Amino acid sequence: MSHFTSLNPLHPRFVELSLDNCIKCNICTSACPVSAVTDLFPGPKYTGPQAGRFRNPLENSPDKTVDYCSGCRVCNMVCPTGVKIAEMNASARAVMVKQGKIPFRLRLRNNLVARSEVFGKITQPIAPLVNPLISFTPLRWIAEVMLGISRHAPFPKLASQRFTSWYRRHPSPLSNRKVVLFHGCSTEYFEPRVGKAAVGILEMNGFEVIIPRQNCCGLPLLSNGEFEAARRYHRNNIKSLIEYAREGIPIVGTSTSCILTLKEEAPELLDMDDEDTRLVAIHTYDLAEFLLLLRDQEELKTNLHPIPMALPYHIPCQYRAHRIGKPGLELLEMIPDLNILQSSATCCGIAGTYGYKSEKYFIAQQVGKPLFDFVDQVGGLFVLCDSETCRWQITHATGIPTYHPIELLAAAYGLKVDEKLLEVLNNT
């Protein structure tokens, strides 16, 4: 057994040492959705383990082409020897930030698009004023010219009410069975309906839902090389969640990227191998994953109403990176008369904040084109997808509404869901 494979995956040198397992097979490069559509990114192998063998972060800046890695983790999933390629590229980007190799204008832009929590806190109270401005063409042109934020990128509309504001007024039933919900920024500020569906399903199945103080998971900052800011976010979340993990209370979430960050991405990239971080990671589940565990223990209610529809479903690359199979698909298959047509597309292209950047927007659209074509061919009334930014990207490119699978499951349970979704379901 190699020294690398004997290490705990959260060990500080796990990512660094994994490059020695690269056998130069080029499978990662052939599977990379970004290098397939642009010559600006030479491929995961070249910017990851191959460059890593010669990279001295104390003296030399990484090749700037590494900034065109979208962090989709497809390379990690296809690598036959377990090299942590996407993490190497993210770490190299962090070196560029630390050495001041990112121009001020672009670093400012990266920080703006990576701080959705700050944006939400400032703008949500005045959502009726801000929402029209988000799509106001002259302002979008100015943002592109001044900051490099693409004028075409799919910015979501702010919700009229925060999810946690709704929850505080929600009469939550008490129970001996408790679960913590990590809602994430998208549910808090843009899509409270997803959190409401999650709470409804968990309460219907006998759980008291706890929503502790929490902040952004930090993944957008990690993706942009802002490791120190991300570290502060992650430490705050660990401090808030650890008391529940110590009690053995599960921590669940509907955002595939947030949950992957708590489970794996932040600990690996930030070299956090302490006991509290590990304990929170062990007790963290994607909501669909958690519900399937209940089903396997015959503790999940399965009295679901039929939904006679054929719908396209895309599993995000961040979800596949969990390596837990297809729990979202398995949940949807529980709904009678529902015909799910699964996308085989590698990635939608948005990759968190990647597709919001003017120099990467059209790359993101080309990466997602196979998915958009699939959605158009299926012709469903709406699309299902587990990731918030993927949902926004799909709707932006196709014009078709996109919902989280948990919302459709809530509808099948007979729970109150989004009015637009309910209208479509009632008309089928």
Q: What is the pLDDT of residue 54?
A: 64
Q: Is 158 a domain residue?
A: no
Encode pLDDT of 362-375 as tens digits.
Answer: 999 999 999 999 99
Please report, rounded to a whole number, the percentage of residues in the chain having pLDDT higher than 90.
Answer: 75
Q: Is 147 a domain residue?
A: no
Q: What is the pLDDT of residue 84?
A: 87
Separation between Cα atoms, residue 216 and residue 174, nearest integer Å:
27
Encode pLDDT of 23-39 as tens digits.
Answer: 888 999 999 999 999 99
Residue 72's domain is classified under what CATH number? Answer: 1.10.1060.10
Q: Is 238 a domain residue?
A: no
Q: Is 339 a domain residue?
A: yes
Q: What is the pLDDT of residue 21?
A: 85
Q: Is 53 a domain residue?
A: yes
Instruction: Give the residue from 98, 119, 151 where a domain finishes.
Output: 98
Q: Is 401 a domain residue?
A: yes
Instruction: Give the residue from 46, 66, 98 where a domain finishes.
Output: 98
Total domains present in the chain: 2
Separation between Cα atoms, residue 423 and residue 403, nearest integer Å:
14
Instruction: Give the residue from 98, 132, 149 where a domain finishes.
Output: 98
pLDDT at 359 over 60: yes
Please report, rounded to a whole number, the percentage of residues in the chain having pLDDT higher than 70.
Answer: 93
pLDDT at 57 over 80: no
How many residues in the chain? 428
Q: Is 137 a domain residue?
A: no
Q: How confident is the model at residue 14 (pLDDT cuts 50, 70, 90)?
A: low
Q: What is the pLDDT of residue 10?
A: 42
Q: What is the mean pLDDT of residues 192-202?
A: 97
Which residue range is the domain that position 356 belongs to? 310-426
pLDDT at 53 over 70: no
Give the residue, 82 or 215, on which the prediction is more confident.
215
Encode pLDDT of 100-152 as tens digits.
Answer: 889 999 999 999 999 999 999 999 999 999 999 998 999 999 999 999 999 99
Q: What is the mean pLDDT of residues 383-399?
A: 96
Q: Is 176 a domain residue?
A: no
Residue 403's domain is classified under what CATH number? Answer: 3.40.50
